Chain A
Amino acid sequence: MAEADTAKATRFETVIGLECHVELSTATKMFCGCLNAFGAPPNTNVCPVCLGHPGTLPVPNEKAIEYTIKIGLALGCRIAPHSIFHRKNYFYPDMPKNFQISQYDLPLCVGGHLDIEVDGETHRVGITRVHLEEDTGKTVHGGATGRIGGAEYALEDYNRAGVPLVEVVSEPDMRSAEQARAYLTELRATLESLGVSDVRMEEGSLRCDANVSLRRPGSEELGTKIEIKNLNSIRSLYRALNFEEERQQVALERGEPLIQETRHWDEGKGITTHGRSKEYAFDYRYFPEPDLAPLEPDPQWIETLRAELPELPAARRRRFQDELGLSAHQAGLVASSAEWARFFEATVSAGADPRAAANWMTGDLAALLRETHQSLTAAKVTPEHLAELVKLLDEQVISSAGAKVALAEAFATGASVDAVVEAKGLRQVGDSEALGGMIEQVIEENPAPVEQFRKGKEGVLGFLVGQVMKKSGGAANPKVAAELLRERLSGSG
């Protein structure tokens, strides 16, 4: 069995490409002035245009074009000097016109890349293209089972129909589920930094399909391509790819041929299931959308947009390492999301030591957020809280144990760290007068250890400090206590 596992692991290479759909966070839809908003009551953000009424015409949203160009620039793409919309024709009740306005052979952005880091190594994933299209409505399958399988009818809500949707297509450059996960994480962080999308996978504003095939190492040809759909989180992408890799591996080991197909990821069961075979491939009858003019962004427009690009996660990571002295690991954690980076930088500008701030964020603060299922933005704790915490700790006003308590309290209530320290009595006792009495008591109560220390047994000092701490109820500053003890015992008799 162990032998077989090794054989499997070495005999095939996994090849993965991702197609990601990103809903842009424009105020209005792609081709009409209806609001682009998540969660409205069914069929309320709709008008004759996005309902596909007879006679209506699309007019593209300039902001959506700009967002797409920004995505292209962030991914190092070439912005096409001439690009057009096509109609992709197929019937589906969630599509009001029964064609989707999309892009075909002349997309807006082509040929970029995204660098990812896995296990300390950097990989470059090619970006084939970035194009703009419109989203579809939402179908609810109704009937006995509530699933498409046994459904008796379907209900259509067109609020989402016509929302601007960007498709980012990668080259098949990833070789493992880990790499794919890193790519999607990095893409999401990049999009988030650009401020062009909510990138909420659970709400569908970022969606991902994966193409997976296996081949013999060294082979240039791709194996049979399987497309996995319905990946609603980075975790499902990772799990689905691992499952699919294993499934294909086993099949190939057994000499079973794979068929080109679409498979659906079943999150509950943790498996992929057969969807549609290649022979059912749609005949989309693409042709240039006659109701729209070409997009021909001039260099000046592109440069204006380029100048508006914010710092991207990769650059931020480098800066956090080079300028703020974070480790690669720390930088990776706090720089990858715009939200975290903002919080981190605000903490640092409020006076906190960068490394300490990063440690607290990725340690205790991250744990608190996880426990309470909160996002950093929504949490009551602020960068000022954290900066104060780090400062008090640095100044030895509080101990690290006290700091943990203070953070938890500030996190729960939003109270200032100072107030929490006072209220909970977390302030360390560090002045010699206050400690003096306790130290005298400890010396009196522990004659034997005192004697041992005086004879040169240094190790006993820790015990004596511990006794001081106990007496102070944890409030004593151990460093100061140790110094005072040493002074007292090495001095007069």
Chain B
Amino acid sequence: MPVEIDVQHVARLARLALTEEEQERFRRQLGLILEHAENVREVAAVDVPPTSHPIPRSNVLRPDDPAPSLSHEEAMASAPEEESDRFKVPRVVEQE
């Protein structure tokens, strides 16, 4: 059975403005892909530990030594909009 997805909710979480056509298409395609992916549940038993990395390592750290920052001009060079040495964005509305 294809998985039913609340596409609008997911698109909002992902900050993607989707057309109605896209919503409908993704709802269908994602449902099928997830249905196909369901088979991962068949094999992964409780006693199997998850792997997040092929080569497990730990404590990969760096010393607390300063490295050069970008110049202010370099930092701002790609800014779509700038004001008062800061990145300018439209107003922020609190809440998700």
Contacts and interface: CB of A to CB of B under 8 A. Distances in A.
Note whether A and B contact each other (Cβ less than 8 A): yes
Interface of A: 26-28, 32-35, 41-48, 51, 59-65, 82, 90-93, 98, 139-143, 148, 151-158, 275-276, 280-283, 285, 288, 290, 292-297
A32 B87 contact: no
Contacts of A288: 52
B64 A91 contact: no
A155 B59 contact: no
B92 interface: yes
Q: A interface, by DSSP: helix, strand, loop or mixed? A: loop
Given A26-B64, A34-B67, 20 more contacts: A27-B66, A28-B65, A28-B67, A32-B67, A33-B68, A35-B69, A41-B72, A42-B72, A47-B69, A51-B70, A62-B63, A142-B83, A143-B91, A155-B83, A156-B87, A276-B96, A290-B52, A293-B56, A293-B60, A296-B59
Interface bracket on B: 35 or more
A28 B66 contact: yes
B13 A283 contact: yes
A27 B64 contact: yes
B65 A42 contact: no
A30 B57 CA distance: 19
Nearest to B67: A33
A36 B3 CA distance: 47
What 10 A-B pairs are tightest by C-beta distance, nearest first? A33-B67, A63-B64, A155-B86, A62-B61, A296-B58, A42-B85, A156-B87, A293-B60, A59-B62, A293-B57
Nearest to B86: A155
Interface in B29-83: 52-53, 56-70, 72, 75-76, 83
B15 A44 contact: no
B60 to A, nearest CB: 4
B84 interface: yes
Contact of B89 (A93, A283, A294, A296): A93
A64 B65 CA distance: 12
5 contacts: A28-B66, A51-B75, A155-B84, A276-B94, A293-B58
Contacts of A35: 66, 69
A143 B91 CA distance: 9
Interface of B: 13, 15, 52-53, 56-70, 72, 75-76, 83-92, 94-96
Contact of B69 (A46, A153, A280): A46
A60 B59 CA distance: 9
B64 A64 contact: yes
A153 B60 contact: no
A230 B75 CA distance: 30
A156 B15 CA distance: 19
A139 B60 contact: no
Given A27-B66, A156-B86, A275 B58 contact: no
B70 A61 contact: no
A144 to B, nearest CB: 11
Contact of B59 (A61, A157, A285, A297): A297
Contacts of A282: 96
B4 to A, nearest CB: 18
